[in-house]
């Protein structure tokens, strides 16, 4: 109650839990510079004396975690913290486990291979999208690109680049992106689309191709 009523009489404005922790630390450090109401000495001096009696935490962090077997639905999803988590490669394994920490989780095989690792849903951080695994699935079934749950999250130019009607051209472009993802992330590829994909490839005539110069001309100036 002390922290609640003295430091946050109003709801704090925070970015995330880490930001809240930093704010509390600064408030508590400043609070130690006042005189204790009963001892009549600085709280900081009392704190220095008290530390001599305290048992120190281990220097090596102690990994507190929980591990459990995962039950997937037919869409390769499992529930964590009330949210459905999709694991693209789940269908390739008979049994997978989830290891949860206070702020993160990972999905592992029986051999310890990590298939997915991300922040827990309640951390309110942007979710990691395993584009390489997703594109490998699209390469096997290029028709799904148009209605995949992940298509809306593609950068605009890449989305248009992959949704051409020609399945042969679509597979070729997916392969091209898979190669680029070895050294770049998806947002970087989207932002530097012309540099990575190449002007020559864009301007190659194809019955189902997209003229990217004309496409960009349709957007208002200063936007993509």
Read off the pLDDT of each residue in 191-211 and give the average, rounded to a whole number.
63
Per-residue pLDDT at 81:
95
Residue 116: beta bridge partners? 107
Q: Which of 84, 102, 123 is the last residue of a domain?
A: 123
Closest CA to 149 of 75, 74, 70: 75
Is the predicted pLDDT of residue 181 greater than 50, yes or no?
A: yes
For residue 198, what pLDDT is reported?
60
- The pTM (predicted TM-score) of the whole model is 0.57
Local confidence band at 210 (pLDDT 50, 70, 90 cut-offs) = low
Same structural domain for residues 168 and 137? yes
56 falls within a domain: no
Number of folded domains in the chain?
Answer: 3
Is position 118 within any domain? yes
What is the percent of the chain where pLDDT is above 70?
88
Does 86 reside within a domain?
yes
SS3 180: helix
Euclidean distance between CA atoms 204 and 210, whole angstroms: 9
- SS3 of residue 181 by DSSP: coil
Chain centroid, CA 88 distance in Å: 15
80 within 8 A of 127, measured Cβ to Cβ:
no
Same domain, 182 and 206: yes
Both 6 and 30 in one domain: the answer is: yes
171/219 Cα distance (integer angstroms): 27
Residue 61 included in any domain? no
Same domain? 139 vs 180: yes
Segments forming the whole domain that contains residue 102: 66-123
Residues ≥6 apart with Cβ < 8 Å to 63: 101
**Confidence check: pLDDT of 212 > 70:** no
Q: Is residue 186 part of a domain?
A: yes
């Amino acid at each position: 109650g002390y922290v609640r009523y003295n430091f946050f009489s109003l709801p704090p404005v925070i970015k995330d839990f880490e930001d809240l922790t930093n704010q509390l630390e600064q408030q508590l450090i400043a609070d130690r510079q006042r005189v204790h109401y009963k001892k009549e000495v600085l709280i900081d001096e009392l704190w220095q004396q008290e530390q001599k009696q305290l048992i120190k935490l281990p220097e090596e962090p102690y990994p507190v975690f929980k591990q459990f077997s995962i039950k997937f639905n037919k869409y390769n999803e499992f529930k964590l913290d009330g949210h459905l988590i999709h694991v693209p490669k789940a269908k390739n394994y008979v049994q997978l486990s989830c290891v949860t920490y206070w702020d993160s989780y990972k999905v592992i095989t029986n051999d310890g291979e990590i298939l997915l690792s991300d922040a827990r849903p309640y951390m309110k951080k942007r979710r990691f999208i395993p584009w390489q695994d997703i594109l490998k699935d699209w390469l096997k079934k290029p028709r799904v690109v148009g209605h995949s749950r992940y298509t809306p999250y593609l950068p605009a130019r890449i989305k248009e680049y992959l949704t051409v009607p020609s399945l042969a051209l679509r597979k070729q472009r997916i392969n091209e992106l898979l190669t680029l993802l070895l050294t770049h992330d998806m947002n970087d590829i989207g932002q530097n689309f012309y540099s990575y994909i190449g002007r020559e490839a864009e301007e190659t005539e194809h019955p189902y191709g997209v003229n990217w110069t004309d496409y960009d001309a349709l957007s208002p100036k200063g936007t993509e």
